[in-house]
Amino acid sequence: MEKLNRVKVVYESETVDADEIAFKEASQVVGSYELEDGTVIEIRHEVKTIYRLCDKKKADGSPIYLLAGGAAVRTILREA
């Protein structure tokens, strides 16, 4: 796993060290919702950066990852 940069992030109200991890998109899931008026809203999560915490682990010992990104929303209006 390639580390890009060591940075400071906030996790559970504490500033901790994290490594930025290189990644490539393996697949993309789109949620699709049809409203009562026929409008369809599609939402997909866009990940910009992935961080792995350096000195924190889950209770089972596995690493903790934080994601930075946002949602891409597309609205498809029903044709009249």
Distance CA 50, CA 23 (A): 8
Q: What is the pLDDT of residue 19?
A: 96
For the chain, list residues with pLDDT below 70.
80
Domain assignment of residue 69, given as a range: 3-76
Distance CA 23, CA 4 (A): 10
Residue 37 token pair: 């008026």
One-letter amino acid for residue 6 of the chain: R
Q: What is the pLDDT of residue 2?
A: 76
**The total number of structural domains that make up the chain:** 1
Average pLDDT of the chain, as a whole number: 94
